[in-house]
A and B are shown apart, each in its own frame.
Chain A
Amino acid sequence: MTPRTVTMRVWRGDASGGDLKDYQVAAEEGEVVLDVLHRLQATQANDLAVRWNCKAGKCGSCSAEVNGVPRLTCMTRMNLLPPDEPITITPLRTFPVIRDLVTDVSFNYEKAKQAPAFKPRPREPDGTHRMRQQDIDRVQEFHKCIECFLCQDVCHFIRDHDDNKAAFAGPRMFVRYAELEMHPLDTNDRRQLLQDREGLGMCNITKCCTEVCPEGIHITDNAIIPLKERVVDARYDPVLWIGRKLRRRKS
């Protein structure tokens, strides 16, 4: 089948400024956006900066915004985009641009450093840690995260409000916290930290993080809301509060 020609409207620039620039590029059947970007880089824009690695949706490197929607470019098929309109490719809006489609995502690594590490309970008398599969089913969903940071990018709390970045860890980090909090062996209690320093209360659960997750992790339903409910246990549930008071009095 003969390749069709598509208009790729790609953001070109660096931290000092930039613009959308149109290119006419051939696109063959079955290709994804990253394929066409590579063809553009090989034939017309040798200096185009694109971050990529596995081309299989598992490394999380090629995150960008395709027609305004955060996506992995290696997992976005060309035939699913409107055929007769320009395809707009921009870098992740939430993070500072380094060059062209490459952004500085170090914000996420700084936030990751703030999460108290896994702290397991003492070992069993025979020197082992025992868990059953049903104990870790929930946290295994969170292990699927490939750190593409699309959830961080789409979260309006930092996407549209740069000033919130200091006080808000973001959905990716809430997934990490949920993984630790629900772990059957972990003994750390991170609820106060989550509410007071990591900005869990700021999330208004609009579920955009879940919508863009390429791994299909139910970020809002299985990580963020359960964490919010754990904070409610500690702070806002009058029944549990009375129960705690009574137990304390008894003991």
Chain B
Amino acid sequence: MTSATDHVGETRVAIRTGPAATLRQDAWWIAPLVTVVVLGGFVLYGLWVTFINEDYYAEPYLSPFFSPCLADNCEHQTAEVVGDWWNLSPALLILPAPLGFRLTCYYYRKAYYRAFLWSPPACAVGDVRARYAGESRFPLILQNVHRVFFYLVLPFPFILLYDGIRAFDFADGFGMGVGTLVLLVNAVLLGAYTLSCHTCRHLCGGHVDSFSKSPRRYRAWQLVSFLNERHMQIAWVSLFGVALTDLYVRLVATDVIRDLRFF
């Protein structure tokens, strides 16, 4: 709560250091708390599904945590890339790319810098560190590899779309279930998250100084900027989308629920 600004230092108004260093009276702690609960919950859920390593395929649905499934030990292999020497969870082969993309995402950086690292916990609330070099030194300078992760995750929405299309192919022929819809929506959400990213915005046209000389880039930049303005919302919705899609496949695979067929 409020700490007294009872003196002026040589340079400025002194407020006690640390997270109590604020005169804010509103509930500034709610947003970081919600982030800790939701983001932390997703990370724990992701770790659980990765290491439990089962029930991620319910024909014809494949969980996005395991797609593309590249190892011989997959419940449903997308492509034969890694042999039977791989005996860990196949999710570990692909998750570093989308995980790294989210971890270095400009929006998530804001969210976890505030919620987990308290640098700062909220605006005009004291940073907990005595010294801070930001993203100019190791390890945070590695945030600049976001561009590389962007290149790596570009195929993922297409792969998930492919999974969604394959989800029309049931054992008894062509059909469509709730799971098909779930997989398709998840692919669209992840595509929107990737497209709305600040790096995508930059590469599409943000790096151009004179838009009138690059009209196609300008149109692409305008489209991506429209999505980018909603990047935070898309980031959260697509995060929930991945978790809920996996949960749906898992519940069908373990016979907790039955997949409703439209046709």
Contacts and interface: CB of A to CB of B under 8 A. Distances in A.
B106 A19 contact: no
Given A226-B206, A238-B148, A69 B141 contact: no
Contacts of A20: 4-6
B113 A204 contact: yes
A164 B132 contact: yes
B216 interface: no
B140 interface: yes
B12 A97 contact: yes
Interface string B93-128: 000000000000010011001100001100110110
**Residue in B13, B140, B201, B207 whose Cβ sees the most chain A Cβ within 10 Å:** B13
Given A68-B24, A199-B136, A15 B8 contact: yes
A183 B101 CA distance: 30
Interface stretch (A25-33, A48-56, A87-95, A111-119): A87-95
A204 B109 contact: yes
Contacts of B91: none
A130 to B, nearest CB: 9
B13 A11 contact: yes
Interface stretch (B14-22, B78-86, B180-188): B14-22
Contacts of A207: 110
Contacts of B126: 156, 160
Contacts of B218: 134
Nearest to B211: A134
Interface stretch (A34-42, A229-237, A243-251): A229-237
Given A90-B5, A229-B207, A239-B151, A157 B12 contact: no
Given A201-B134, A204-B109, A156 B120 contact: yes
B202 to A, nearest CB: 4
Interface string B175-212: 00000000000000000000000110110001101111
Interface residues of B, number: 57
Interface string B138-162: 0011001111100100000000000
Nearest to B148: A238
Given A93-B13, A221-B228, A70 B7 contact: no
B120 A229 contact: no
Nearest to A87: B25
Given A16-B8, A97-B12, A160-B120, A236 B147 contact: yes
A97 B22 contact: no
Contacts of A90: 5, 13, 23
Contacts of A202: 133-136
A229 B134 contact: no
Nearest to A67: B25
A18 interface: yes
B233 interface: no
Nearest to B146: A232
Interface string A170-192: 00000000000111101000000
A68 B8 contact: no
A203 interface: yes
B10 interface: yes
16 contacts: A13-B8, A17-B7, A18-B7, A67-B24, A68-B25, A88-B23, A93-B12, A132-B211, A137-B211, A156-B126, A160-B21, A161-B132, A162-B11, A201-B135, A208-B123, A236-B144
The 7 closest A-B CB pairs, nearest first, are A68-B23, A202-B134, A68-B24, A208-B123, A229-B202, A201-B136, A132-B212
